[in-house]
Chain A
């Protein structure tokens, strides 16, 4: 699943560590989600949506839906 985490982070000038701290997860976890190697659970996706004040579908893109 693709996502816009890197862009959203850059807009706020946050490092992966900053985001990890806000999400209360490890930096490794943020990196895995950001690079698309790990799909977050719904609770974590909602947490990201609240943090970036965006709907989930603006942060994550469903590859299959895009065709």
Chain B
């Protein structure tokens, strides 16, 4: 992500994230088809609905593993700062939106959007973090 020369840890992270993205799409299609056509109810319905979220957990785990595996402490530091930017930005954005929902009745933000919003803020934080060390 940050390294000019990709370290083995970055390569492994990239492969893991790509793998989980493929699983995410696959599970989302399976869940949509199963709920729509098989009319799943009860526990089976809940399990299928949760299925697409599992690869997302996998991405979080992959980043945790990366922070363990990456030997370059400066690169780890860059990654941690970008992730913190993502967490902070998401907390601020969702809290502000929550207040808007409560007091001025803006449209409801479904919690499924919180994860993409987090990565949006990680993406916005990354150039800022890199700029600090240019």
Query: Which A positions have Cβ atoms within 8 angstroms of B?
Result: 24-29, 31-33, 37-38, 40-41, 44
Contacts and interface: CB of A to CB of B under 8 A. Distances in A.
Contacts, number: 38
Closest 9 CB pairs of A and B: A29-B74, A25-B72, A32-B133, A26-B3, A37-B133, A32-B74, A38-B74, A29-B72, A41-B73
Interface of B: 2-5, 7, 71-75, 77, 132-133
A26 B4 contact: yes
Given A26-B4, A26-B5, A26-B7, A40 B132 contact: no
B45 to A, nearest CB: 48
Given A37-B132, A37-B133, A29 B75 contact: yes
